[in-house]
Amino acid sequence: MELSDKIIIEELRNSNEQVYRSLFDNYYPTLMQFAFRFVYDKDACKDIVQDVFVTLWEKRDTQDIKSLKWYLHTAVKNKCLVYLRNIGIKDKHQVYLIDSYLMEQSDDDILDPQLVKEVNEALEQLPREMKRIFRLKYVHGLTMSEIAEDLDISVSTVKTQLGRAKLKLRSLLFDRTLLVFIL
């Protein structure tokens, strides 16, 4: 264990909020980038990274941490995997392909017209509100908070609907279209 880690961990155990804030400020940007490699959703990454720091603070007396960097990265990775598993995604790259398509939707001539047609058909099969939330997020680029405020629903409802939409799109698309597209 590095001396600085040892001192920081001891200060956390002593409930030193300044050290905790400094640790947060120092690691937050790096952990956000790290989480984004798994989840590809900035709002979810914010929630995951913040949750890791909340857990670190709440369990500061009982944690046996040898390396802060290792602990924080491992905790973020594990939370990302749980998040992906909870929304039914087994392969993070599947989510990335849908997101990439939706962000490039205006460039239809670059994409395979058959793929564009099948993705649009799959989107149309989503329930009305789920489709609306999904389009606000991935076509219009709104944050989960902005969507929640705009539709007068909770952020939790937005997250749930997006997770279900991704799962439904995965079942509609990946078994046929994107498998061919990937190959």
Give the residue-averaged pLDDT of 110-123.
Answer: 66
User: 15: Cβ–Cβ under 8 A, 6 or more apart, which residues?
Assistant: 60
pLDDT surpasses 70 at 99: no
Please tell me the distance from the alpha carbon of residue 180 to that of residue 17, in angstroms, as a whole number: 52
* 3-state secondary structure at position 165: helix
pLDDT value, residue 61: 86
Range in 26-30, 42-46, 136-140 the model is least confident about: 136-140
Give CA separation, 125 vs 24, 121, 128, 136, 171, in Å: 42, 7, 9, 16, 12
pLDDT in tens, 34-67: 888 878 788 999 999 999 999 999 999 888 888 8
Q: What ranges do the domains of the chain cover?
A: 3-86, 92-182
Q: Are 77 and 92 in contact (CB under 8 A)?
A: no
Q: What are the two backbone dihedrals, phi and then psi, of residue 110, each rounded to the nearest 5 degrees?
A: -80, -30
Please tell me the distance from the alpha carbon of residue 10 to that of residue 157, in angstroms, as a whole number: 39
CATH fold of 92-182, please? Arc Repressor Mutant, subunit A (1.10.10)
Residue indicated by tokens 């979810």: 44
Question: Are 3-86 and 92-182 the same fold in CATH?
Answer: no
pLDDT in tens, 158-178: 998 888 888 787 777 655 544
- 23 band by pLDDT with thresholds 50, 70 and 90: very high
CATH of domain 3-86: 1.10.1740.10
